[in-house]
Amino acid sequence: MRMLLLTLLLYIADIALFAFSVERVAQEPSPAYIALLVVSIIIFLFAWILFCGLKILKPQEALVLTLLGKYVGTLKDNGFYWVNPFCSSVNPAAKTRLNQSGDVSDSTRPLALSGSPADGMQLALTSNKLSLKIMTLNNSRQKINDCLGNPVEIGIAVTWKIVDTAKAVFNVDNYKEFLSLQCDSALRNVVRIYPYDVSPNVDTTGDGLADEGSLRGSSEIVAAKIRDEIQKRVEEAGITIVEARITYLAYAPEIAAVMLQRQQASAIIDARKMIVDGAVGMVEMALERLNENDVVKLDEERKAAMVSNLLVVLCGNRDAQPIVNSGSLY
C-alpha cells in the first residue's frame, strides 16, 4: 500500500511539474525549463512500470517469483504487495485442467481483441498464482487385473495440497499432470496385490501367510496403502496427500455377469450348508430325546426312515405334505 501511494504521489508531482514546465517554456523557452519538460514527459511515460510490481494475494494463495531466471522467493500471506516490477511469476500448471475441485471453475477468461468477429481472436488471461487449498483429484476409472487375474474397474479420489511451492514449480515439469500420473501408477501397483473378494491361499500383507485381505472387504486398508504409495512418489514435487478413497469398485463388464452368478452360487452353497448343519443337529436332538424319555423304541431301520423324513422336511425348498398313517408302523 505504501508503494502504491508513493507511485500516485509521483504521478501527481510529475503532472504538476509538467504543467509548470509548459507554462515557463511558453513564457521563457530557456534550456532549463525545456529539460524539466522533457524529464516530466519521460517520468510520465515510464512511471507506470512501478504499477507492474503491485500484487494482491487472497487467503491460501501463493506467488513464486523469479528474476532473470533466478528464484528470488515466494509470497504466501494474503495481502497487498509490491515487488520488483521485473520479477516474473511462475506456475507451469496454470493452464492445466484436470478433473479436480480446483479446476472446476476455469479461471481463464477470454478477452476479445479488436477486429471482425470472423477472426475469432481471443487472448487468455491466466493467473500464475498457486493455490494452497486442499484439492480433490478424481481421475478416470482404471481397468486393472487383481492378483487372481480378474479384470476389475476401480476409481479413487485423492485429496492433496501443495506444501512446498518451490519444489512444485521447479522440481517437476507440471505438478498437476505429475500427480495425476503417479496416482494411476500407484493405484495399479496396489490393486495387483489384492483379490476382488476374499480368496484362500492369498497373501496380501507380504508375511508369507494367507489372509482375508480383499479389495471389497478391506477398502480402508487398501485406501491407506494407495495413499502411502502416492505420497512416496510425489514427495519431491512438494505435494502432500491428505487422503485417498475408493469411489468405485466393480468387476469389468466382460466378466461381471459370470462373477455375479459365481457369487450367487457361493451364497446358495453357504446357505445350504447352514441349513443342513442345523437340520442334522435337530435330528440328533430328536433321537436323543426319544431315547432318554423312552417314548418309543425304534430299530435301526425305523431310525433311518425317521432321519430321512426329518431331513426332507427341514431341508426342502417347499412345505412338506404330511401323510397320516392310521395303521401299524410295521
Kindly indicate the confidence band of residue 242, based on its pLDDT and cuts at 50, 70 and 90.
very high
Highest mean pLDDT: which range of 11-15, 247-251, 284-288: 247-251
CATH topology of domain 132-251: Tetrahydropterin Synthase; Chain A (3.30.479)
* Helix intervals (H) in the chain: 2-27, 31-46, 165-170, 175-191, 219-234, 253-293, 300-315
- Per residue in 127-171, pLDDT (tens digit) is 788 889 899 988 888 898 888 888 889 999 999 999 999 999 999
**Percent of the chain predicted with pLDDT > 90:** 17
- pLDDT for res 120: 40
Residue 168 one-letter amino acid? A
77 or 266, greater pLDDT: 77
Span 25-52, average pLDDT: 74
- pLDDT for res 322: 64
Report whether pLDDT(19) > 70: yes
**Is 161 in contact with 243 (CB distance < 8 Å)?**
no
- pLDDT for res 324: 57
Highest mean pLDDT: which range of 114-123, 127-136, 157-166, 291-300: 157-166
CA distance 95 to 102: 12
307 or 179, greater pLDDT: 179
**Strand ranges for 33-101 from DSSP E:** 54-57, 61-67, 70-75, 79-82, 88-89
Domain boundary assignment for the chain: 132-251, 257-315
Report whether pLDDT(122) > 80: no
Looking at the whole model, is its pTM more than 0.85?
no
At 28, list the grid cell.
521563457
At 58, list the grid cell.
487472497
- Per residue in 52-62, pLDDT (tens digit) is 777 888 888 88
According to DSSP, the residues that pair with 125 across neighbouring strands are: 109
